[in-house]
Structure 1
Amino acid sequence: HMLVDPDFHGFGVGRKMMELMQGKYKDFHQQMLTADGEAVDFYKALGFERTGKTEPMWVYAGNDH
């Protein structure tokens, strides 16, 4: 999970975290993620794109969603 406190959105914190992570895994042939809600546009700006007709699925026993 990558989370940035909403008070710090727009300051480049998430972008820097992603740049560091993508730099570490730059030689991998594939990078995948699950983007939630408003984060979709953020990840699109970093070069990620929706692929095919994939659907996110999970088995989740929590209560925060």
Structure 2
Amino acid sequence: MPVSRVRVTEHTRRAPRLLRDGSHEPGPKPTIAPDWIAATGTDTVDIANMEHRDLPKDWQ
């Protein structure tokens, strides 16, 4: 999927959870990506407040 289409899809998906400060309601999800876990020290990722390109591999 082209990047522009991914951004539109992500924006549409997150729009109902937009908060006044510009962030979104947290959407914590577990990850099994070892590089993510090593870099962040946690196996949880807030998918609602991350750009697609920054998500761990198992959530991209």
Q: TM-score range by the shorter chain?
A: 0.3 to 0.5
Structure of higher RCO (CA pairs closer than 8 Å, 6+ residues apart): 2
Q: TM-score scaled to structure 1, two decimals?
A: 0.32
* Structure of greater Rg: 1
**Structure richer in strand, relative to its length:** 2
Output the TM-score relative to the length of structure 2.
0.34
